[in-house]
């Protein structure tokens, strides 16, 4: 029996660890799962835990309003270390690129506990973009013993960095496993206002923004662009669940709140969010996860970034990088909203990120690592 500690703490890493936790829980004969929530996020984390029915074994309750990266780092490392000492897990699993990810893996390394990195190998090769995630990923890649790369591109990036090929596996991204659990044909939103909005049968543009490198002027520019679009298209509903970070809210609310057809709402629980995504015509976002979910649902995504560590859907043509330039955001959105052929071309459903079996593959590889099974796990490749 192996004890696997799964560490998570923010909205996205929890969504993407959830399918692995659920899968490990099915293997009671082989694994004891220890779920450790740093709670780097609080209510945005609790929303996800509720959807997946996960109660953390440890909730470290780290979040503080406007927390600095240094405070966050200090608080996570001591709290995680206490749990690792008490529980002595056989392996620690971290996901993605957050402070929880890098510090969780560092804490495990210091205690000489093997680390598995879920969603390994994403790179922009620009140290400041996204900040601090690009460096968090590279550092986690240095520490990890097993690298679960979501795509062949991510695997190649790791091999270029001389990571031992025997430790790298293309699993697909667990975000698609989660999406397959969450998106429903007939869905009643828990936020009743969304049911009312959807009954209006108007087109929906869905918005999200939160990236640190976009704080301040770039984010203000993007909001001005959305304002211009909302004025030009009064017949479209722009729905924007605003991240709880006060630094984001201070920019977004003054510019967009006065507009009648822009609905600024609180972060949605995951089920409401992905089902709203499925009902939207267009998405404008700087999110990593939404760049993976949109293509799977055939939604054109305009990405508010100059570079992306998720180039696959850009290659397929479903995602377009528009940066933070207001003119480019407006012209790209107008082309899609006005030109049916351009829209259709971009709205094809493609799934470079997964087939819903990423958690199964990940757990299969962990079983091989511990000699529990010799079954050869076939790598994910998109059809
Ligand atoms: C973090 C991650 C980022 C990830 C994002 C997903 C780091 C450095 N950043 O960014 O990689 O893309 O989460 O959303 O790990 N807050 C609340 N309630 C919540 C969550 C956040 O009030 O439930 C507020 C708090 O004031 C908190 C602030 O948001 O201090 C920032 O949270 P933090 O986790 O430091 O950074 P994010 O910008 O959310
Ligand atoms: N999401 C959510 N509610 C929202 C907005 C997003 O549940 O109001 C989900 C979304 O489906 C995706 C994830 O949060 O899976 C993305 O998180 P975020 O954009 O905060 O972080 P990133 O992916 O950029 O690290």
Nearest Cα to Cα of residue 120 among 348, 358, 298: 358
| Ligand 2 neighbour 330 (Cβ under 6 A) | no
Q: How far apart are the CA of 333 and the centre of ligand 1, in A? A: 28
Beta strands in 129-214 (DSSP E): 146-149, 168-170, 204-208
Residue 169: strand pairing partners: 148
Q: What integer pLDDT is reported at residue 102 of this predicted model?
A: 98
pTM of the predicted model, to two decimals? Answer: 0.98
Q: How far apart are the CA of 135 and the centre of ligand 2, in A? A: 20
Q: How far apart are the CA of 57 and the centre of ligand 1, in A? A: 22
Which residue's CA is the closest to the ligand 1 atom numbered 14?
A: 11
Helices (H) and strands (E) in the chain, counts: 16, 13
pLDDT in tens, 111-147: 999 999 999 999 999 999 999 999 999 999 999 999 9
Q: Which ligand lies nearest to the CA atom of residue 290 in the structure?
A: 2
Nearest Cα to Cα of residue 126 among 321, 342, 326, 361: 321
pLDDT in tens, 323-347: 999 999 999 999 999 999 999 999 9
- Is the per-residue pLDDT at 369 higher than 90? yes
Ligand 1 pocket residues where CB is under 6 Å: 10-12, 40-44, 63-67, 69, 72, 97-99, 132-133, 210, 244-246
CA distance 226 to 214: 15
Residue 291 alpha carbon, nearest atom of ligand 2: 23
Q: What integer pLDDT is reported at residue 188 of this predicted model?
A: 95
Q: How far apart are the CA of 86 and the centre of ligand 1, in A? A: 28
For residue 147, indicate whether it is catalytic: no
Q: For residue 342, what are its two tokens?
A: 């351009």
- Is the per-residue pLDDT at 182 higher than 90? yes
Catalytic residue among 13, 41, 59, 119: 119
Q: What integer pLDDT is reported at residue 348 of this predicted model?
A: 85
In contact, 227 and 256? CB cutoff 8 Å: yes
CA distance 322 to 309: 15
Q: How many other C-beta atoms lie within 10 A of the C-beta of residue 110? A: 13
Q: Which ligand lies nearest to the CA atom of residue 136 in the structure?
A: 1
For residue 210, indicate whether it is catalytic: yes
Report the chain's mean pLDDT, rounded to a whole number: 97
For residue 212, indicate whether it is catalytic: yes
Count of positions (residues) in the chain: 383
Catalytic residue among 41, 147, 210, 227: 210
pLDDT in tens, 346-364: 998 888 999 999 999 999 9
Nearest Cα to Cα of residue 267 among 198, 215, 190: 190
pLDDT in tens, 18-77: 999 999 999 999 999 999 999 999 999 999 999 999 999 999 999 999 999 999 999 999
Q: What integer pLDDT is reported at residue 201 of this predicted model?
A: 94
Average pLDDT over residues 191-208: 96
| Structure-token match 């004890």, residue found | 3
For residue 41, indicate whether it is catalytic: no
Nearest Cα to Cα of residue 122 among 154, 85, 166: 154
| Ligand 2 neighbour 19 (Cβ under 6 A) | no
Which residue's CA is the closest to the ligand 1 atom numbered 5?
A: 10
- Is the per-residue pLDDT at 383 higher than 90? no
Q: How far apart are the CA of 232 and the centre of ligand 2, in A? A: 27
């Amino acid at each position: 029996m192996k004890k696997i500690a799964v560490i998570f703490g923010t909205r996205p890493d929890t969504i993407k660890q959830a399918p692995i936790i659920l899968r490990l829980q099915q293997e009671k004969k082989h694994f004891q799962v220890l779920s450790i929530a740093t709670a780097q996020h609080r209510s945005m984390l609790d929303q996800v835990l509720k959807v997946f029915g996960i109660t953390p074994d440890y909730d470290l309750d780290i979040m503080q309003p406007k927390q600095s990266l240094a405070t966050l780092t200090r608080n996570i490392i001591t709290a995680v270390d206490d749990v690792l000492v008490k529980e002595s897990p056989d392996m620690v699993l971290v996901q993605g690129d957050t402070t929880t990810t890098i510090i969780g893996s560092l804490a495990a390394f210091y205690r000489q506990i093997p680390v598995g990195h879920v969603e390994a190998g994403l790179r922009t090769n620009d140290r400041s973009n996204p900040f601090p995630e690009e460096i968090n990923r590279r550092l986690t890649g240095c520490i990890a013993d097993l690298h679960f790369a979501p795509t062949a591109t991510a695997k190649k990036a790791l091999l270029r960095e001389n990571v031992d090929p025997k430790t790298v596996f293309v699993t697909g991204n667990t975000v698609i496993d989660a999406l397959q659990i969450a998106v429903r044909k007939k869905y009643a939103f828990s936020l009743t206002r969304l049911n009312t909005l959807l009954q209006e049968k108007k087109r929906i543009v869905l918005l999200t923004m939160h990236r640190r490198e976009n704080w301040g002027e770039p984010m203000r520019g993007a909001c001005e662009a959305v304002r211009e679009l909302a004025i030009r298209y009064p017949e479209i509903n722009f729905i924007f669940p605003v991240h709880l970070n006060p630094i984001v809210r201070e920019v977004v609310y003054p510019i967009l709140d006065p507009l009648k057809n822009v609905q600024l709402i609180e972060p949605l629980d995951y089920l409401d969010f992905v089902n709203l995504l499925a009902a939207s015509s267009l998405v404008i976002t700087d999110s990593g996860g939404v760049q993976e979910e949109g293509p799977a649902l055939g939604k054109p995504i305009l990405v508010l970034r100059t570079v992306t560590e998720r180039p696959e859907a850009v290659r397929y043509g479903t995602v377009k990088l528009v940066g933070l330039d207001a003119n480019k955001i407006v012209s790209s959105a107008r082309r899609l909203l006005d030109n049916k052929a351009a829209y259709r071309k971009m709205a094809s459903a493609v799934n470079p990120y997964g087939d819903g079996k990423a958690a199964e593959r990940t757990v299969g590889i962990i079983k091989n690592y511990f000699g529990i099974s010799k079954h050869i796990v076939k790598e994910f490749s998109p059809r």
